[in-house]
């Protein structure tokens, strides 16, 4: 069934059938992010600022879960394509155990660093307090987040995309419902403010994990996960991390970028820090659907790569690039048409709305060309080529944009930071195309058909 489904079906219908459930769940997740921020903004603008400052650490926790999950996904898909089921079982089992270890370490580490981290970016004691109240509750669910994402990637690796759609959507919808109840204390619920926003998020993540566990019991995966596949396998662990670590860095780099840009923008006023935080909430509505396409593509491209279908791999990449571009065109049009209304969802401060509308117009100039970077990086991860994918992300989130934003801000003020976005996307698109082409002419790395 897998071979017919992954290797023989026409590429466009295949990608759409794999990606559509993820696009739907990503759109719901985008809605959750916006609704969550909308309710937090109702507490105060300081609460929204605190949420913006917590975001980099929160994103890093998600990055570790998702990035290592991408490693699990890629290794499983490759070995299923190569017809080495036992190795796929070992990858799934070891991946879950290592993911659990990551979750425990992240819980302790993130809670410990938050007081000093927040004080790096603000001296406002109210913002610091609000940030700590949110983060202490939210980060207590780190283990749940990592395990949930690990199961998500395992289900995706075997083509069970509808299960991940239902699980993710259920968690997001639960979060949306719980947000106003727990933040404002509606009905029998206590008024918890920032802690309520964090608890709503955590409970939604618990529901997602519970659904994965229940499905595993009711309708077992074609993979086998158990103690017999848990024996230490250094080469397998190495493969998981050789893809997972670059993928983690790929996703964590925006955290570094946001922190760096917050440092630059703080010199021009706190409203620009708020605007950057609002932008990253809004852009999830654009990039998460594109990420849904990438998630649907990864197991398909990995499976075909493992099966030696290299011409089909190229076609899968081209179709993915086209689909991402369609999403980016739509996003650009919306941001150019109603930027003020979008910013106004999160703040009533007219100065912030006007400055944010200008920022959104400028930044959106790079959306369409970013399709090349998004598709190339995602395809390389699916192929198990983590390092080339990391090169693309380093260009996009560190090497080009931070110096560009700093230099341009010396001449254009805060607007220079916004212009740094579209300039970076153009340069990175060229780099992405070259890196992808070079990686594809090299022999498969990191895998072997020989038994360990």
Residue 149 lies in a domain: yes
Q: How far apart are CA 231 and CA 441, in angstroms?
A: 35
Residue among 376, 406, 402 nearest 389 (CA): 376
In the predicted model, is pLDDT for residue 449 greater than 50?
no
Question: Is residue 22 over pLDDT 80?
Answer: no
Alpha carbon distance 395, 429 (integer Å) = 10
Number of domains forming the structure of the chain: 1
Structural domain contains residue 451:
no
Range of the domain at 174: 2-440
Q: What's CA 313's distance to the chain center, in Å?
A: 23
450 within some domain: no
Burial readout 335-354 (b: 16 or more C-beta within 10 A, e: otherwise) = beeebeebbbebbeeeebbe
Rounded Cα distance between 80 and 158, Å, is 8
Tens of pLDDT, residue by residue over 360-404, are 999 999 999 999 999 999 899 888 888 898 899 899 999 999 999
Of 396, 452, 387, nearest to 248 by C-alpha is 387
Instruction: Looking at mean pLDDT, say which of 4-8, 165-169, 206-210, 246-250 comes out highest.
Output: 206-210
Q: Kindly report the pTM of this predicted structure.
A: 0.74
Q: Is residue 452 domain-resident? A: no
Q: Is residue 447 part of a domain?
A: no
Residue 415 lies in a domain: yes
pLDDT digit string, tens, across residues 197-227? 999 999 999 999 999 999 999 998 888 888 8
How is 367-418 classified by DSSP, letter by letter?
Answer: TTTHHHHHHHHHHHHHTT-HHHHHHHHHIIIIITHHHHHHHHHHHHTHHHHH
Quick check: is 230 in a domain?
yes
Q: What pLDDT is recorded for position 30?
A: 65
SS3 content of the chain, % helix, strand, coil (to 5): 85, 0, 15
pLDDT digits (tens, 9 = 90+) for 247-301: 888 777 877 888 899 889 988 988 898 899 889 888 877 888 888 899 888 888 8
In-domain check, residue 369: yes
| Cβ 236 vs Cβ 450: under 8 Å | no
């Amino acid at each position: 069934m897998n071979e017919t489904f992954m290797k023989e079906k026409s590429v466009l219908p295949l990608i759409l059938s794999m990606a559509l459930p993820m696009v739907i769940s990503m759109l719901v997740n985008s809605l959750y992010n916006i609704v969550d921020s909308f309710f937090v903004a109702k507490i105060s603008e300081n609460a929204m600022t605190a949420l913006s400052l917590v975001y980099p650490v929160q994103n890093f926790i998600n990055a570790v879960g998702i990035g290592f999950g991408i490693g699990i996904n890629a290794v499983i898909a490759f070995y299923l394509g190569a017809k080495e089921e036992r190795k796929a079982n070992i990858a799934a089992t070891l991946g879950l155990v290592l993911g659990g270890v990551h979750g425990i370490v992240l819980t302790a580490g993130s809670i410990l660093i938050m007081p000093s981290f927040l004080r790096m970016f603000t001296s406002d004691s109210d913002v610091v307090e609000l940030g700590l109240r949110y983060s202490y509750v939210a980060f207590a669910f780190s283990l749940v987040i990592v395990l949930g994402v690990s199961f998500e990637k395992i289900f995706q690796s075997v083509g069970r995309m509808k299960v991940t759609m239902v699980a993710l959507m259920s968690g997001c919808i639960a979060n949306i419902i719980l947000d106003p109840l727990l933040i404002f204390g509606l009905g029998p619920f206590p008024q918890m403010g920032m802690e309520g926003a964090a608890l709503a998020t955590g409970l939604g993540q618990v529901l997602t994990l519970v659904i994965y566990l229940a499905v595993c019991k009711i309708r077992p995966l074609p993979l086998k996960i158990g103690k017999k596949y848990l024996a230490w396998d250094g080469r397998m662990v190495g493969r998981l991390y050789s893809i997972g670590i670059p993928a983690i860095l790929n996703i964590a780099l925006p955290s570094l970028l946001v922190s760096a840009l917050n440092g630059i923008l703080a010199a021009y006023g706190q409203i620009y820090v708020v605007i950057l935080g609002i932008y990253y909430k809004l852009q999830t509505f654009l990039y998460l659907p594109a990420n849904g396409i990438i998630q649907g593509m990864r197991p398909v491209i990995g499976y075909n790569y493992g099966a030696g279908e290299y011409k089909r791999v190229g076609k899968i990449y081209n179709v993915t690039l086209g689909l991402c571009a369609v999403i980016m065109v739509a996003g650009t049009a919306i941001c150019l048409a109603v930027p003020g209304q979008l910013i106004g969802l999160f703040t009533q401060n007219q100065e912030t709305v006007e400055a944010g509308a200008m920022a959104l117009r400028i930044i959106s100039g790079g959306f369409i060309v970013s399709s090349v970077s998004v598709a190339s990086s995602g395809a390389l991860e699916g192929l198990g080529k983590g390092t080339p994918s990391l090169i693309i992300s380093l260009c996009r989130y560190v090497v080009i944009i931070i110096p560009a934003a700093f230099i341009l801000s010396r001449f254009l003020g805060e607007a220079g930071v916004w212009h740094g976005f579209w300039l970076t996307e153009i340069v990175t698109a060229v780099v992405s195309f070259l890196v992808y082409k070079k990686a594809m002419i090299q022999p498969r790395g990191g895998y072997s058909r020989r038994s360990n």
